[in-house]
Amino acid sequence: MILPDLSRATVAELSAGLTARQFSSLELAEAYLARIAAAQPTLNAFVTVDPDGARAAAKAADTARAEGKSGALLGIPLAQKDLFMTEGLRTTCSSKMLANFVAPYDAHIVTALKQAGSVLLGKTAMDEFAMGSSTETSFFGVVRNPWQPDAVPGGSSGGSAAAVAAGLTPAATGSDTGGSIRQPASFCGITGIKPTYGICSRYGMVAFASSLDQAGPMARSAEDCALLLTAMAGHDGRDATSLPRPKEDYSRELATPPSAKPLEGVRIGLPDVFFGDGVDAPVVAAIEAALVELCALGATTVPVALPNLGYSVPTYYVLAPAEASSNLSRFDGVRYGHRAAQYNDLSDMYQKTRAEGFGDEVKRRILVGTYVLSHGYYDAYYLKAQKVRRLIADDFQAAFAQCDVILGPTVPTVAPLLGAQSQDPIKMYLNDIFTIGANLAGLPAMSVPCGFAPNGLPVGMQLQGPYFSEARLLNIAHRFQQATDWHKRTPKGMNHE
């Protein structure tokens, strides 16, 4: 057995190694399980690890290969964010409310990734019910950033991002309602893509804000994201918002041979709102250097305007809590999840169950959401926010008449220290300014590593494109990654062998 260095191995490399019989899927799964066990006390990236399930799936993949089957994900270990239902394995949303909940079925994307032959290692920690930007609200304790353990990994998919960055899994899934794939990808120096709304079925993904939620892959490279997205995406009649489109191969543009100017003809739109005062200097410096690189690869830049993007944070923080307050009403102690041990009557049972089961941030969202939907405030807040949402989507449409992609920082800062923002929710909300627009408009967007701040923490650049431009975004990111090595850097001390 010749195992590659798992602190940096990509899905594509591991797949080639499996095909060449350099190691078996079982050997690979065992090696990742050992890395997870070694890192768990410091990083806490996983809520649940499933060694037995992983071994069984790995053996099945080895048998399938021995029988002549092949596939990019056959025998590849993966982790699922803990809001995707996994049959027989608990799905907690990092909440006390679901701490012991074992799903009776698999989410659509879980089924799809299993059918592709992947091996589920376990479930990754997140902000409770995906509400947050730091993974500090997990009932199972904070997750740490592998690059600097006193920094947050970002959120809400912080467990997935930390696990990929530390090489505890070659790739993982995330969900993105307002940036939860892209922001932790940026903070942990990995690549992640939120697809166009409706590309990945939401069936079996615990709902936060249904009109904004999308699943997507998080990995070490754009090439790997394309491999995962190809398996995850596709129409599913069980989700009414799943789009009836033909299956796509998201790797299709990556195969063309590299040339000196692979980005010839790509027009990069630069909205001034992404380069304003609130962006930290090391972030600006990294983005500007990335732009020089992209232009050297043949791209050109053009200024574009997103005049209403400044309203995206208040718009989102009306709409997302409104939808959350409705979605989370199902956690009532009757059907599943936590139920208060002692209560007087039904109403008391509801109250105690929800008071005990939900954490502070979730309660805050339910309160805000119920308020903006209440009689007398609905028009002033909810309806108004829906109108602004339309304006923001129209801004993007107008911008894409002039450019192919929009580029800027994923987040105005690098990862903050643990505890630095958790007491100030508004400050944390404001940092979502660059990611929320794509969710409000339903557009695809990705984060790509493009440098480091002087304190050693990674910087990510965001690429946003028109509807269904995933293959193009992934190709632009791939060409950038062929010319740079930011995505290949690994945090120190993550070699657990």
Q: Which residues bind ligand GLN (CB under 6 A)?
A: 130-133, 156, 176-180, 208, 320, 432
Spatial CA neighbour of 47 closest among 115, 102, 1, 3:
102
| Rounded Cα distance, 217 and 226, in Å | 8
**Helix (H/G/I), strand (E/B), else coil: 49:** strand
The angle, 0 to 180 degrees and rounded to 10, between the axes of the packed helices 222-232 and 11-19 is 80
The nearest distance, CB 346 to ligand GLN, in angstroms, is: 31
Report the residue number, 53 or 179, with the smaller CB distance to ligand GLN.
179
Report the residue number, 413 or 475, with the smaller CB distance to ligand GLN.
413
Helix (H) / strand (E) element for 302: namely: strand 300-304
Question: Residues 15, 24, 81, 123: which is the catalytic one?
Answer: 81
For the record, the structure tokens of 432 come out as 């979502």
The nearest distance, CB 255 to ligand GLN, in angstroms, is: 32
Task: Answer yes or no: 81 catalytic.
Answer: yes
Strands (E), 153-296: 171-176, 191-194, 214-219, 267-271
Question: Residues 24, 25, 94, 156: which is the catalytic one?
Answer: 156
Q: Are 478 and 268 in contact (CB under 8 A)?
A: no
What phi and psi values does residue 432 have, to the nearest 5 degrees?
-85, 5
The nearest distance, CB 131 to ligand GLN, in angstroms, is: 5
For the record, the structure tokens of 135 come out as 């993974």
Task: Answer yes or no: 247 catalytic.
Answer: no
| Rounded Cα distance, 297 and 469, in Å | 19
Residue 40 DSSP label = H
Radius of gyration of the chain (CA): 21
Amino acid residing at 69: K
Report the residue number, 178 or 369, with the smaller CB distance to ligand GLN.
178
What phi and psi values does residue 48 have, to the nearest 5 degrees?
-140, 130
Residue 444 DSSP label = -
The angle, 0 to 180 degrees and rounded to 10, between the axes of the packed helices 25-43 and 158-165 is 120
| Rounded Cα distance, 361 and 358, in Å | 8
Amino acid residing at 322: A
Q: Are 82 and 204 in contact (CB under 8 A)?
A: no
The nearest distance, CB 412 to ligand GLN, in angstroms, is: 13
Report the residue number, 311 or 343, with the smaller CB distance to ligand GLN.
311
| Sign (positive or negative) of CA dihedral 373, 379, 385, 390 | positive
Amino acid residing at 492: K
Residues in the chain, total: 497
Task: Answer yes or no: 180 catalytic.
Answer: yes
Question: Residues 157, 180, 186, 312: which is the catalytic one?
Answer: 180
Tell me the catalytic residues.
Answer: 81, 156, 180
